[in-house]
Structure 1
Amino acid sequence: MKVLIVCVSVSHGNTRRVADAMGAVLGARVVEPEEVTAAEIGEYDLVGFGSGIFSMAFHPRLREFVRGLPEGRGGRAFVFATSGFPVVMGPMKRLPGRKGFELVDTFSARGFDTFAPLKLVGGIRKGRPDAADLAAARAFAMALG
């Protein structure tokens, strides 16, 4: 099975660490949206889309990338996120389906978060994702394979 993981990880590297853990299990190529074309996406059997959460939403670069994919693509997809708070997957869960993907599952992990007011107190979820979070990401990936 050929797997691609498209992720945006900009603040603390939380999402990239989770993507790399999943990618190691799946033998996946892990890229940012600008490193892959819509045509290349069609070469993969399974595609993961993930980012950190910013103002309660997935990163705009990831959302715009998925919106820009051609419709009717087909194939399987999963969505994942990291955040200091619980994640609302709703809108991002629907985007791949609008492009013809079958959404097979979602995953989220806590991550170190220094969003605006949290920065004043040194952030929350320091040290996250931790070893247990990364083990959960690997277990999630194994279930996808």
Structure 2
Amino acid sequence: MERPPLILCVSVSEGNTALVARAMAEVLRADVREPEDVDPHTLSERPLVGFGSGIFRGSHHARLRKYVERLPHVRGTRAFVYTTSGMGRSQSLPWQRSLESVLRDRGFEVVGSFSCRGFDTWLPLRIVGGLNKGHPDAEDLARAGEFAERIAEELPAR
């Protein structure tokens, strides 16, 4: 029996990314785990794997980047990338493309990416109370669910 989809999530500052991961997981009926809790050699057993974190100083969290860099080559496994950031999609897009490129090099079929604004308390912003307080909000989480629904339509029936 095929294992369910998996969403890898690094959510360390405000819990933004974990909220998005759970919204997608509910639709996909996916497991949500931190990268360190998943043997990278088991990813090929999953029909779909999501890779996500917040954007920190212009890049995915170091824990996620290190995990992806040591992935073995897979075949036939779909993947998606998701992020939260203070600037939303405009800030996340270059970093999503970078991670997507590494995943493709490892043999994953990248089927999409998702990003939304998240409450950002990076040091200079902390002084003024942060940026995007209240995000991701209900609308952001609904968009995450809709993204997951589009991906789910392409998954084989379980």
Shorter-chain TM-score above 0.5: yes
Q: CA deviation at 1:72?
A: 3.6
2:131 to 85, 104, 124: 124
Question: Following superposition, which runs of at least 4 residues in structure 1 exceed 3 angstroms of deviation?
Answer: none
Rounded to whole Å, the distance in 1 between the matches of 2:130 and 2:57 is 15
Alignment of 1:19-30 (within 5 A): 19-30=21-32
Q: CA deviation at 1:39?
A: 2.2
Q: What's 1:97 paired with? A: 104
Q: Deviations over 1:70-114 (max 9, x none)?
A: 124441100000001131222112111111001100000100001
Rounded to whole Å, the distance in 2 between the matches of 1:130 and 1:63 is 26
Rounded to whole Å, the distance in 2 between the matches of 1:26 and 1:7 is 15
Q: Deviations over 1:51-77 (max 9, x none)?
A: 000001000100111111112444110
3-state SS, counterpart of residue 53 of structure 1:
strand
Rounded to whole Å, the distance in 1 between the matches of 2:121 and 2:102 is 27
Q: What's 2:57 paired with? A: 55
State, as a whole percentage, how many aligned pairs show the same letter: 52
Question: Tell me, which stretches of 5 or more residues in structure 2 are unaligned?
Answer: 153-158
Task: Indicate conservation of the 8 Å contact 1:14/1:112, yes or no.
Answer: yes
Q: What's 2:140 paired with? A: 133
For normalisation by structure 1, the TM-score amounts to 0.96
Q: CA deviation at 1:10?
A: 0.2
3-state SS, counterpart of residue 51 of structure 2:
strand
Rounded to whole Å, the distance in 2 between the matches of 1:72 and 1:90 is 19
Matched, 1:78 2:98: no
Matched, 1:115 2:117: no
Rounded to whole Å, the distance in 1 between the matches of 2:97 and 2:143 is 21
Rounded to whole Å, the distance in 2 between the matches of 1:91 and 1:60 is 13
Q: CA deviation at 1:116?
A: 1.6
Q: Could you say what the CA RMSD is over the residues aligned between the two structures, in angstroms?
A: 1.1
Rounded to whole Å, the distance in 2 between the matches of 1:73 and 1:113 is 36
What code does the residue aligned with 1:91 have? S
2:44 to 38, 42, 55: 42
Q: CA deviation at 1:48?
A: 0.3
Q: 1:17 to 1:126 in 2, by over 3 A?
A: same
3-state SS, counterpart of residue 19 of structure 2:
helix
